[in-house]
């Protein structure tokens, strides 16, 4: 039984619910449990959407698209502003729902909900700034207009690590552009998405414009990928599933794939050491490292290597790990499930067997209160080699590997020697070094002397196996438009 009655009630209302064509109703399919990862207790269930329910959601979206896309942008913007206000006003309640299913501490979850509200306002504003172009022709009497038209029905398929933001970016940009959307949230974190649907409903977004279907990715997600009436897939998740989606799509469809990463950080001899340690601790361990842009591996110039390792170990040891509902201000909560925790242990073991030095963490926190949850201490391993999994694969856990370097070009080439290309970080004060690193890193996002690689109004996307397409910024909005060239012969000669 959940200790918090208000939270239990909020979740009970969402239990086994689907949101189709403006109506919340109990799903007809089989039930799957949703667990609190800090305690392993069942907090509720989802209904696996049936084929009929999937068809109903897609056809509602198709129907709603016809009128939603024709509204003047200002009307859609007003609806999005209203949505942002409603979400911000209920941020704490929504945050607690998220913590109950995902594990991150409530304060952090609340920050994520507020960023979702910010995304609503940002895309509300962008909606009214969608411009076309007039292109000069090489003959008199012609004019070419390039206009942007919404793609149609979007299926958003999202992971569990940022249950609000990763739904929200797709939702806000789709709605701003004039698309309708069917959302399939991660099986682990469905209630946050359903809570967002409640807000869409309360904001008066017309029936069918937003729909939420729950269930397994391999069934419900796959059905959306294969559905002939879905015009675009907006996917965030692992590279393996992203590639599978690309390969299994039976029709030509627009795809955006925001996939995995194995993000490096380079710390040169000129770096502000304290700032670098602080940045490394934040971006390696926040959300238990379950971030696509988490730092996996750090290359530190040999002159400051030992000092950096000692300080990072101390910073990791200073972080608190706790039940995120009971201790909203904890630095780390429980990991979302057994799967990323197992992978973290595997990567740690692999590194230790191959000669890495454990300098912080390496185990679950001690105490009966942690016994049933997926907890792990933030872990730092030094003297890492490129052959270790932690240096080349995505861990998605609170583990970071550190290695020394002598030559900056060598560090850059190690940093780039990965199938991924999502985000990379560097701390340096020497301008030449900063320039060499910024130009040399083959990544979609490069943060220098900070570790917040994503901001709302700049394009965010991966290269190589980290994906195609962009979220955030104007660039994300373009992902939801088709361009149309209208070549008009008006016959007027200048």
Catalytic residue among 172, 179, 200, 292: 292
**CA 298/CA 294 separation, integer angstroms:** 11
Buried b (16+ CB within 10 A) or exposed e, 154-166: bbbbbbbbbbbbb
Catalytic site includes residue 179: no
Smallest distance from the beta carbon of 48 to ligand NAP, in angstroms? Answer: 10
| Residue closest to ligand NAP when measured from CB atoms | 217
Locate the DSSP E strands across 48-152.
133-135, 142-150
Interface stretch with ligand NAP, choices 157-165, 319-327, 344-352, 431-439 (CB under 6 A): 157-165
Smallest distance from the beta carbon of 62 to ligand NAP, in angstroms? Answer: 20
In DSSP terms, 399 is beta-bridged to: 379
> For residues 222 and 416, which CB has a smaller minimum distance to ligand NAP in the complex?
222
Q: What does DSSP say about strands 142-150 and 133-135: parallel, antiparallel, or unpaired?
A: antiparallel
Q: Distances from the Cα of 478 to the Cαs of 29, 127, 472, in angstroms?
A: 36, 11, 10
One of 105, 168, 208, 261 touching ligand NAP (CB under 6 A): 261
One of 54, 119, 186, 447 touching ligand NAP (CB under 6 A): 186
One of 37, 260, 289, 397 touching ligand NAP (CB under 6 A): 260
Calculate ∠ Cα 476-477-479, nearest 5°. 70
Q: Please spell the DSSP secondary structure of 268-329, one letter per residue.
A: -TTS-HHHHHHHHHHHHHGGGG-STT-EEEEEEEGGGHHHHHHHHHHHHHT--B--TTT-TT
Total residues contacting ligand NAP by CB under 6 A comes to 32
Smallest distance from the beta carbon of 196 to ligand NAP, in angstroms? Answer: 15
Interface stretch with ligand NAP, choices 14-22, 154-162, 170-178, 315-323 (CB under 6 A): 154-162
Told to check if 296 binds ligand NAP by CB under 6 A, we report no
Catalytic site includes residue 258: yes
> For residues 222 and 346, which CB has a smaller minimum distance to ligand NAP in the complex?
222
**CA 492/CA 141 separation, integer angstroms:** 5
Q: Which helix (H) or strand (E) holds 267?
A: strand 263-267
In DSSP terms, 482 is beta-bridged to: 149
Smallest distance from the beta carbon of 281 to ligand NAP, in angstroms? Answer: 20
**CA 335/CA 290 separation, integer angstroms:** 8
Interface stretch with ligand NAP, choices 170-178, 198-206, 235-243, 275-283 (CB under 6 A): 235-243
Told to check if 158 binds ligand NAP by CB under 6 A, we report yes
DSSP structure class, residue 449:
S
One of 79, 91, 292, 295 touching ligand NAP (CB under 6 A): 292
Question: Residues 387-416 vs ligand NAP: string with x where CB under 6 A?
Answer: -------x-x--------------------
Catalytic residue among 258, 394, 476, 479: 258
Q: Which helix (H) or strand (E) holds 191?
A: helix 190-202
Which of the residues are catalytic?
A: 258, 292
* Binding positions for ligand NAP, rule: CB under 6 A: 157-162, 166, 184, 186-187, 216-218, 221-222, 225, 236-238, 241, 244-245, 258-261, 292, 394, 396, 422, 462, 467
């Amino acid at each position: 039984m959940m200790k918090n009655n208000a939270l239990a009630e909020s979740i009970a209302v969402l239990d086994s619910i689907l949101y189709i064509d403006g109506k919340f109703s109990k799903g007809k399919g089989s039930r799957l449990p949703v667990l609190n990862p800090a305690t392993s207790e069942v907090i509720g269930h989802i209904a696996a959407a049936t084929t009929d329910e999937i068809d109903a959601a897609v056809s509602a979206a198709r129907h709603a698209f016809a009128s939603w896309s024709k509204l003047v942008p200002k009307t859609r913007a007003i609806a999005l502003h209203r949505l942002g206000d409603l979400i911000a006003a209920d941020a704490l309640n929504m945050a607690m729902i998220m913590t109950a299913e995902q594990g991150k501490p409530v304060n952090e979850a609340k920050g994520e909900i507020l960023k979702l509200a910010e995304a609503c306002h940002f895309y509300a504003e962008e909606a009214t700034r969608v411009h076309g172009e007039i292109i000069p022709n090489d003959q008199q009497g012609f004019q070419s207009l390039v206009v942007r038209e919404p793609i149609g029905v979007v299926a958003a398929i999202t992971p569990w690590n940022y249950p609000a933001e990763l739904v929200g970016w797709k939702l806000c940009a789709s709605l701003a552009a004039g698309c309708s959307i069917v959302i399939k949230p991660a099986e682990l974190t469905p209630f946050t998405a359903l809570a967002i649907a409640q807000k869409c409903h309360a904001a008066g977004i017309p029936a069918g414009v937003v729909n939420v279907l729950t269930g397994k990715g391999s069934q419900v997600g796959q059905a959306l990928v294969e559905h002939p009436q879905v015009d675009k897939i907006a996917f965030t998740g692992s590279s393996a599933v992203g590639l599978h989606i690309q390969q299994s799509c039976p029709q030509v469809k627009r795809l955006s794939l925001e996939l995995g990463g194995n993000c490096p950080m380079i710390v040169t001899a000129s770096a502000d050491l304290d700032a670098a340690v602080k940045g490394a601790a934040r971006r390696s361990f926040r959300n238990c490292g379950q971030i696509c842009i988490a730092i996996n591996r750090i290359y530190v110039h040999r002159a400051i290597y030992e000092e950096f390792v000692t300080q990072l170990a101390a910073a990791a040891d200073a972080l608190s790990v706790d039940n995120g509902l009971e201790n909203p201000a904890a630095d780390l909560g429980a990991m979302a499930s057994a799967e990323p925790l197992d992978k973290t242990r595997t990567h740690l073991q692999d590194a230790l067997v191959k000669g890495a030095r454990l300098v912080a963490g390496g185990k679950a926190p001690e105490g009966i209160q942690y016994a049933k949850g997926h907890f792990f201490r933030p872990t730092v391993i030094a003297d890492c080699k490129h052959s270790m999994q932690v240096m080349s694969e995505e861990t998605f856990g609170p583990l970071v590997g550190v290695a020394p370097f002598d030559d900056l070009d060598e560090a850059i080439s190690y940093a780039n020697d990965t199938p991924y290309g999502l985000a990379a970080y560097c701390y340096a004060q020497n301008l030449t070094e900063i320039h060499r690193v910024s130009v040399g890193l083959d990544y979609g996002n490069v943060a220098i002397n900070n570790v917040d690689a994503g901001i709302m109004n700049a394009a965010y996307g991966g290269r190589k196996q980290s994906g195609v397409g962009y979220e955030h910024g104007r660039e994300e909005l373009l992902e939801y438009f088709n361009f149309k060239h209208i070549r008009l012969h008006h016959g007027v000669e200048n």
